[in-house]
Structure 1
Amino acid sequence: MKQLDVQLMHPVEQINIIIGRIYRSGMTTTSGGNISIRDDNGDIWITPSGVDKGNLTTKDIMLVKRDGSIIGPHRPSSEYPFHRAIYEARPDIRAIIHAHPPALVAFSIAGTVPDTKIVPQAHNVCGEIGFAPYGTPGSEDLGEKIAKVFQDKRYRAVIMENHGVVLGGSDMMDAYQRFETLEFCCRTIVNAGKLGKVNYLTDQQVNSYVNHIPKNIAHFMDVDYPSDERALRTEMVNIIRRACDQGLMISTYGTVSVRWRNDDFLITPRDVARWDIMPSDIVQIRNGMAEAGKTPSRSVALHQRIYQLNPHINSIICTQPINLMAHAVSGTKFDVRTIPESWIFLQDVPSIPFGLIYHEIEDVAKMFKKNRVIMVENDGVFVTGDKLLTTFDYLEVAEFSANSLVMASAIGPLKPIGDKEIDDLRIAFNVG
């Protein structure tokens, strides 16, 4: 994955950025969680013990030298022993994240390892998940138990029994993307289970995701960036970051495109962390070709055909919000007719089988003549609109509505409105 220029950032800066992101995303508490980086000479930089994660600064990050000496204003994290043990067991791991995000903790309490084959890219990011038996927090015993699991090089993520999760990476962004993606999977599985049976992908379906990534896309060299095009790039980046902040997108998945001129458009690149995307990363698509030196999203062909067949559509967002994905993963109908205000914005939302967006591009693109939002089983949700902000609004409405439906599933059967009431909405609001 292309990431922040982590090699150009000091470890204390990396740690400060990532622990702040984890805290603001609700994946750790003021006192919980710890992260570390091992630098080239074997020194370990680590978050301190007993310091507010919501107000941590670079000056608070502790350094434990290779010889065991400690530098900094606080005590190193109480979990330093298992950080050290993992680094000793796995020379290939250079960064570690340990936290207690709610869904992963739920799996640790249940003594169960999550199956990440709910969406194809998640399994590729997370890999195999290990499980470490219980040990007293902060003890050498816990470090030994975790390190023993990490000795199996299949694992870069380990569920800690009755505790939480610990993940390793080749650098801090690699570890963070694995952490964020694994918690997304767990939350989605939990919510999908409330709606019905969780449907997992086969190995063949997961592999088909890689096989259908576009290859040998034609490129053009004479790229120009007039002011209106640059303005669209900035708008896209602002919306992407907003989506990440609101939990509507994660680092490893999310595609945004905007029509520029005629059927030419701008689209997000492949393999760039969504949290950190920059205007210069956005890919210009002209006459079906991508600007030189950049690789567009895997769904670029579908976006192009949607624009060609639907002149009323000027922007598209494809992403994986947790509650919408709970419906997509469980095969449960996303019944917008349960909330009249939501139906006015979204109308009925059809669901299509996994893989159809690769095999039947023409048919899927035609569906958007009548549908603003389409759900793809075990893949994502496509939202369209005449302006990017409007499309983002539709996405928010869809995820809020899906959240309400997940909650309602614990209360009793849904009670959607009928055809007569829908016809009344069509007339009153001139929609549909």
Structure 2
Amino acid sequence: MSETKLREDICRFGRSLFERGLTPGSSGNISVRLDDGGWLVTPTNASLGFLDPGKMSRLDANGKLVSGDAPTKEVPLHTALYQTRSAARAVVHLHSTHSVALSMLPEIDPRAVLPPMTAYYMMKCAPTALVPYYRPGDPAVADAIKGLAGQYSSVLLANHGPVVSGDTLEGAVFATEELEETAKLYLLLRGLNPRYLSPEQVTDLTKTFGLVLPDHSH
């Protein structure tokens, strides 16, 4: 896919996410890795609803700005996911309400913030890890992401929001939306003793769709 088309796609998906209230104001950022090892990323203080394809930040393989506006301060976050997940071609980070709310609950398991609630959550996100709170743009968050050893495609930053990688931009966006909807379901059902997928049902999904789940045996 051409770089021009990728720039347009980032703007198109960004506007869709913004207009549906999935990341307010100038929050959230999106990146796409290019064939030459560099990547495109949304600029700092840019609203995802009003992106300009010509002003997109173009970084080289070392994360240095080549052209466009200054990049988001969350570059270390995106870099860490690309470095630990070789198949990742896009990363989406939002401040979506229900995912942020989920990240603040005391009972969630850092290794799997959500139980196996639906088939599509398992298929698109698999278990989601929780990363402790770091201030936005703190380079230390990259070390926390690297500590997950690339096992998770979806990560929840405590008191901040979700970060999801995918093998395409579309895939990363859809997975982020699935995570947000599942977080919403969890909050709606909290305290009601809902029925989750059984271990046998999770195993069936894993075998049928070739899911690779994190190893929690240690």
**TM-score of the two chains, using structure 1 as the length reference:** 0.44
Matches within 5 A, 1:176-215: 176-193=173-190, 196-206=192-202
Which amino acid in 1 is paired with 2:184? R
**1:40 maps to what in 2?**
35
Larger Rg: 1 or 2?
Answer: 1
Match of 2:61 among 66, 75, 81: 66
SS of aligned partner of 2:196: coil
- 1:165 pairs with 2:162: yes
| Structure 2 Cα separation of the partners of residues 67 and 106 of structure 1 | 34
Q: Flag the 1:93–1:190 CA change in 2: closer, same or farther, 3 A.
A: same
**1:125 maps to what in 2?**
124
- CA shift, 1:184, in A, is 0.8
- CA shift, 1:208, in A, is 5.5
Verify the 8 A CA contact 1:189 1:198 in the aligned structure 2.
no
Identify the structure with the greater helix proportion.
1
Q: Flag the 1:192–1:67 CA change in 2: closer, same or farther, 3 A.
A: closer
| Structure 2 Cα separation of the partners of residues 72 and 182 of structure 1 | 33
Matches within 5 A, 1:352-371: none
- CA shift, 1:93, in A, is 1.2
Verify the 8 A CA contact 1:121 1:209 in the aligned structure 2.
no
Matches within 5 A, 1:286-305: none
- CA shift, 1:54, in A, is 2.0
Q: Flag the 1:58–1:152 CA change in 2: closer, same or farther, 3 A.
A: closer
Deviations 1:163-190 (A, max 9, x none): 1111111111121121111111111111
Q: Which 5+ residue runs of structure 2 have no aligned equivalent?
A: 210-218
| Structure 1 Cα separation of the partners of residues 113 and 143 of structure 2 | 23
Comparing both chains, which one has the higher relative contact order based on Cα–Cα distances under 8 Å and sequence gaps of 6 or more?
Answer: 2
Sequence identity (%): 25
| Structure 2 Cα separation of the partners of residues 134 and 144 of structure 1 | 13
Q: Flag the 1:54–1:116 CA change in 2: closer, same or farther, 3 A.
A: same
- CA shift, 1:57, in A, is 2.2
Which amino acid in 1 is paired with 2:21? G
SS of aligned partner of 1:85: helix
Verify the 8 A CA contact 1:95 1:170 in the aligned structure 2.
yes
- CA shift, 1:148, in A, is 1.8
- CA shift, 1:81, in A, is 1.4
Deviations 1:199-224 (A, max 9, x none): 211022345579999xxxxxxxxxxx
**2:102 maps to what in 1?**
107
| Structure 2 Cα separation of the partners of residues 145 and 101 of structure 1 | 21
Deviations 1:282-332 (A, max 9, x none): xxxxxxxxxxxxxxxxxxxxxxxxxxxxxxxxxxxxxxxxxxxxxxxxxxx
Matches within 5 A, 1:412-431: none
| Structure 1 Cα separation of the partners of residues 73 and 201 of structure 2 | 42
Matches within 5 A, 1:14-93: 14-93=9-88
Verify the 8 A CA contact 2:58 2:68 in the aligned structure 1.
no
Q: Flag the 1:182–1:116 CA change in 2: closer, same or farther, 3 A.
A: farther
Q: Flag the 1:210–1:94 CA change in 2: closer, same or farther, 3 A.
A: closer
Which amino acid in 2 is paired with 1:202? S
| Structure 1 Cα separation of the partners of residues 85 and 203 of structure 2 | 28
Matched residue count: 204
| Structure 1 Cα separation of the partners of residues 76 and 205 of structure 2 | 39
Q: Flag the 1:185–1:70 CA change in 2: closer, same or farther, 3 A.
A: same
Which amino acid in 1 is paired with 2:114? D
| Structure 2 Cα separation of the partners of residues 93 and 74 of structure 1 | 24
- CA shift, 1:29, in A, is 1.0
